[in-house]
Amino acid sequence: MSNFINDANWRYATKKFDTTKKLSNEDLETLKEAIRLTASSYGLQPYKVFIIENPEIRAKIQPVAWGQSQIVDASQLIVFANVTNFGETEIDAYIKNMSETRGIPVESIQGYGDFMKSKITALSVEQRNNWTAKQTYLALGNLLNAAAELKIDVTPMEGFDPAAVNEILGLEKLGLNASLLATIGYRHEDDATQHYVKVRKSNEELFINL
């Protein structure tokens, strides 16, 4: 656990990436697995994750992401896109996957699928979209922690125009919405932000014991 705390203290939202340093395929696969194994509500993983290396696509996204240099300078740009209007089709796919993965009949878990449908489809489309968007933050958390252990920098970003990113990537026709961005790579030695003392609330101010 001491290593986890040390890694958490090491990481920060990198402002300037070293454009000459790229992630190895091995490290990228590790980060992908960390995202894949993330906990999610009901285990449904109601999102897709785009890993963008194409410089032309990233150049299009940069202006609608407040012009932030990390978009084009980092090793990769990650777009977390939540499923919109999540419903019965996605739940049926999850039940099928569970059946195949665990080697059990669909019929034996159909009741669980029906239970999820009763809870999720009762929500409005707006409520469902808010719920699926929130799930992407769990995946981002796993990415941050796994990357810190590998001494890979990650900058999470909410500063962008989701509608514009959706248009650039054609997400709407896929039933998706860009909810979060994250850039990954290696900090530039000239990034002064890495030397700032981390500012957090004290335990006394943050935690309430009842």
CA neighbor of 181 nearest in space, from 82, 74, 81, 79: 79
Q: Which residues of the chain have pLDDT under 50?
A: none
Pick the CATH number of 15-85+126-189 from 3.40.50.12280, 2.60.410.10, 3.60.15.10, 3.40.109.10: 3.40.109.10
The pTM (predicted TM-score) of the whole model is: 0.96
Helices and strands, counts by H and E, the chain: 9, 4
CB neighbour list of residue 25: distance below 8 Å, 6 or more residues apart: none
For CA atoms 138, 46, 62, 65, the dihedral sign is negative
CB atoms within 10 A of CB 172: 12
CA 137/CA 103 separation, integer angstroms: 31
